Amino acid sequence: MFSEEEFMDAKILHHRGVSFSEIARQLGRDWRTVKRYVTADEQPRYRRPPAPSMLDPFKPIIDAWLAKSPPPQARRIHQDLVRDYGFAGSYQTVRRYVQQVRPAPPRQPEERFETAPGFQA
């Protein structure tokens, strides 16, 4: 993958009439890669499609459990999934999902107080 600087250098060299193979030699890349980057309007971005999680089939069950009051701990959710539903994933996978879904409790502001110098000592 080209850096932004290499991408701009390749574009400038191509506009000056330098061949793709010569640009490739200067940048240490394959000429086909240089050609693909130079002919593109903008720098191509590599985007990997999201991989399916092994937790996907169990997410509705976990969401239903978290809707109860009080919601169970992530360790208990993992334990029940393994025992009742045959879940083969790790506890960390369940914990990360529960942490994303469960809203964080609102932080209470800390009350500051000032004392005179040497008063607390």
pLDDT for the residue 93: 95
Q: Residue 14 corresponds to which tokens in the numbers above? A: 């191509």
Question: From CA 81, how far away is CA 35, in angstroms rounded?
Answer: 51
Overall pTM surpassing 0.75 (yes/no): no
The one-digit pLDDT tens for each residue of the chain (121 residues) are 788 888 889 999 999 999 999 999 999 999 999 999 888 888 777 788 889 999 999 999 999 999 988 889 999 999 999 999 999 999 999 999 999 998 777 888 888 888 888 887 7
Residues 30/24, Cβ–Cβ less than 8 Å:
yes
pLDDT for the residue 117: 84
pLDDT for the residue 19: 94
pLDDT for the residue 13: 93
Greatest Cα pair distance, the chain, in angstroms, is 78
74 SS3 class: helix
pLDDT for the residue 113: 83
100 SS3 class: helix
Question: From CA 62, how far away is CA 97, in angstroms rounded?
Answer: 9
